[in-house]
Chain A
Amino acid sequence: MTFSPELEARFEKLLKIYPEGRQRSAVVPMLMYAQDEVGSVTRELVEEVARRCGVNPLQVDEVVGYYSMLHTKPLGKHHVQVCTNISCLLVGGEELYEHAKKTLGVGNKEVTADGLFSLEEVECMGACSWAPAIQVNYDFYHHVTPEKLDKLIQDLRKLQ
């Protein structure tokens, strides 16, 4: 499997920063970066990462199954993650999530027909102080209300 030169360079660096014999530590970051480029964690990617880190594919599968931010199916261009864990829940996280489902017309881990958006209900993202919080790809949005969410989605639509 080949990646862009930037990603290749990143991998190369990753494999060097861990002590000799601990190259398996690079499995998570490699999967994260590669997922962005490939679109999802494909079978081929699992095998490639396993090969490069010197573990067997099953060990990579264990990681993929464990971490919810690794996806085996392609996501929307904008991946909307709504937190419904305790702090957010107390100030309307659950309602926000219900609203997002309605606005986008998709359920948990589903992708809109145009491929622009996907939605996911997530656990605490460490943004409790600014609850309710959402994350779109790698960007955080704080104190989100249904109105703010609609606005954001409109803006993102225009953006593309």
Chain B
Amino acid sequence: MSEMVNLTVDGKAIQAAPGTLLINAAKQAGIEIPAFCYYDGLSLQAACRMCLVEVEKTPKLQVGCTLPVAEGMVVHTDSPTVRASRKGMLEFLLTNHPLDCPVCDKGGECELQDMTFRYGAGESRFLEEKVHVDEQQWSPVVYFDAPRCILCYRCVRVCNEGMGVNALGVINRGVNAEIAPNEYDHLNCDECGMCIDICPVGALTSGAYRYKTRPWEMEHVGTICTHCSNGCKTTLGVRGEQIVRGNNRDRSGINGEFLCVKGRYAFDFTHHADRLQSPMIRKNGRLEPVSWSEALALVAKKWREIVERGGRFGVIGSTRTTNEENFFLQKFARQVLGTNNIDHHRSGDIPTLLDALSGRTGALATTADLYNEKAVLVVASDLSQEQPFLAWQVRANVRHHGAHVYTATPGPVREDRTAVRSVRCEPGREIEAVESLGDALRAEPSLVVVFGDAIKGEALRRLVAFGDSLGIPVKYVALLDYSNSRGALDMGLLPDLGPGYHPVAAPGMTMAGMLADASLDALWVVGANPLSRTPLASPDAFVVVQDLFLTETAERASVVFPAASAYEKSGTVTNVCGEVQRLKPAVKIAGTKTDLEIVGLLAKELGAQLGVWLPDNVFEEIRATVRGYNVPLPVLATGGSAITAALNGRVKSAPGPELIQSARNTLFTSGSLGRYCRTLQSVLEAPGALYQGK
């Protein structure tokens, strides 16, 4: 480490690394320099002048948010001059501020309120009439109230730099300066709501949340987004059994404050009118509501018959249910139903990746690696659309560390704009495109390769061989679709591999095999909708479905159980990079049960001994028996993410790569669940398209 710089702040001798901004050096020493426009991770703006401090031997007050520390600097952050200047700045900011705090969404969480409370003058000398501009709606989720804006430019910067969307700008100047959207009177953008979240005041507000509650009336439940595989922590604001907001303002979790439109707004399915709230049994061709005991008894009776006559079962698990649920489900299938016919919708070839990486350690990238490694290669994925948080990490890496980005995709992607090289290829020929980048990549100090579902089987082995040939450290991320796609694989929802990728003695049927098997006797689908894509060949199969909604699959069922969603349960999920995190229930929907409980009750009904079906107990078993999952519990308990130890062994998986197919969700779709997210569908950009590279 280079020499530390010595300086004095408010009489306290402190040290800081060269180049540290005064505002941060003071913060490290526990001294607050108030700021509006300064924002960690974004470019410097120096627009608000709230951070002015006195530096000895300089004639004027200095801007603390742009001033790097210097040896021997003597700073006063609380002198009478500084205090007077802060009062003045706040008085100016308030000259045209509407002071409608009692009805403003931000009231209670507003930085302007807090600053005025702490540093402000109690009165204003301005008697001039305030300039009023009517509120504007820019999209179903973004509203703008110009008079409240303090022109800190945070929204503009987070949209340009953080999101790479460039949807916001500033028009006019002086008192007339105003934030403006890219389509004159509305937005055409990612609808991520990052601008709303970052706004220190109530100028940008959210269509989903506005005027619903006062912030202090909510409970805040930190859980994991149920949509894509990136595993963002979303803090759900709950008021009276209803989720009214999603954000991550406290920057906890792997994603800091990042959330895409899905993590921020797509919680509304929880209260959708179509939620199933009672078990149903098919009677005279129609699904009729029945009691839990009746439904459980019927399933147990049928299954027992089928087991006794040696009939054929098919079990299809979910990519959104918890590790505990998946583990318990496969245990049930294998031990109680005696079948290895268990599978799920696979979106990435993790088994082949693990096999190809045999003998290596540290070759699986974490979400943090995407921010820290020197170079990133994006293959066969429209990352900003399909994997929003990973794309955010890559953008931040470019801004903060000057990382080199390479893309090899069939169409233009947002990452091209910061890429040092982009190659286009025919779909399916991505691997050749990657190989054409060899010379450039060899010159990089290290590399992370993120790749979509086109890279599987032999192509994946070729990719790893190519990585080996570069002679530099290479890490990989096999992109996946949903919040627990990775956990479904790790927990052994596979016909040939059990938990921890242990091969089973007699591999069962794949999902495609089960659906095509005309003599299948029973199909059990937990939180998946395979019949939306493929018909069920067996006309007489007894179909049991656990789901939130009456999906195409549930409509074909003989018995339907109403399941709780991820936002209504405890347990753990594993993200695309193998990071385990814990869910926390935010609400409870009357009449539903978690999948773990439903499976547990079925086990009980059948008299099977599968152990206690409480998430903590099942997770203990997972920690003890599933390779890589012996993670530290305190990390999870405190809302952190624990990295599962990468498999360092040979994984033998027979099923062909044709089974692996991503659903190719855009920013505005989320499989069958997306249909029930009104907010997602309300935005103009929905459903969005891939390879737009907007």
Contacts and interface: CB of A to CB of B under 8 A. Distances in A.
A68 to B, nearest CB: 9
Contacts of A56: 166, 182
B182 A65 contact: no
Contact of A58 (B172, B173, B177, B182): B182
A61 B180 contact: yes
A59 interface: yes
Nearest to B172: A65
B81 to A, nearest CB: 27
Interface string B548-592: 000000000000000000000000000000000000000000000
A138 interface: no
B173 A65 contact: yes
A58 B177 CA distance: 14
A6 interface: no
A114 to B, nearest CB: 30
Interface in A23-76: 56-59, 61-62, 64-66
B171 A57 contact: no
B170 interface: yes
Given A56-B182, A58-B180, A58-B182, A65 B171 contact: yes
B171 A62 contact: yes
Chain B contact patch, size range: 10 to 19
Contacts of A65: 170-173, 177
Contacts of A57: 182
A55 to B, nearest CB: 9
Nearest to B178: A65
A148 to B, nearest CB: 31
B215 interface: no
A65 B174 CA distance: 10
Contacts of A58: 166-169, 171, 180-182
A1 B169 CA distance: 24
Contacts of B182: 56-58
Nearest to B181: A58
Contacts of B168: 58
B47 to A, nearest CB: 14
B43 to A, nearest CB: 16
A92 B170 CA distance: 35
Contacts of A64: 171
Contacts of A61: 169, 171, 180
Most A C-beta atoms less than 10 A away, residue of B171, B180, B181: B171
B477 to A, nearest CB: 30
Interface string A121-139: 0000000000000000000
B169 A59 contact: yes
B420 to A, nearest CB: 13
Contacts of B171: 58, 61-62, 64-66
Q: Which residue among A56, A58, A59, A61 has the maximum number of chain B CB atoms within 10 Å of its CB?
A: A58
A159 to B, nearest CB: 34
A66 B169 CA distance: 12
A65 B167 CA distance: 17
A66 B181 contact: no
Contacts of B180: 58, 61-62
A66 B176 CA distance: 10
A66 B166 contact: no
Nearest to A55: B166
Interface in B146-195: 166-173, 177, 180-182
A56 B169 CA distance: 10
Interface in B580-628: none
Which residue among A56, A59, A64 has the maximum number of chain B CB atoms within 10 Å of its CB? Answer: A56
B310 to A, nearest CB: 66
A13 to B, nearest CB: 27
Contacts of A66: 171-173
A10 B171 CA distance: 27
A64 B176 CA distance: 13
A15 B119 CA distance: 49
Interface in B294-329: none
A64 B184 CA distance: 13
A61 B169 CA distance: 8
A121 to B, nearest CB: 14
B416 to A, nearest CB: 14
Contacts of B167: 58
Given A56-B166, A62-B169, 19 more contacts: A57-B182, A58-B166, A58-B168, A58-B169, A58-B171, A58-B180, A58-B181, A59-B166, A59-B169, A61-B169, A61-B180, A62-B170, A64-B171, A65-B170, A65-B171, A65-B173, A65-B177, A66-B172, A66-B173
Interface of B: 166-173, 177, 180-182
Interface of A: 56-59, 61-62, 64-66
27 contacts: A56-B166, A56-B182, A57-B182, A58-B166, A58-B167, A58-B168, A58-B169, A58-B171, A58-B180, A58-B181, A58-B182, A59-B166, A59-B169, A61-B171, A61-B180, A62-B169, A62-B170, A62-B171, A62-B180, A64-B171, A65-B170, A65-B172, A65-B173, A65-B177, A66-B171, A66-B172, A66-B173
* Pairs of residues from A and B, 9 with the lowest C-beta to C-beta distance, nearest first: A65-B171, A65-B172, A58-B169, A58-B182, A62-B169, A61-B171, A66-B173, A62-B171, A62-B170
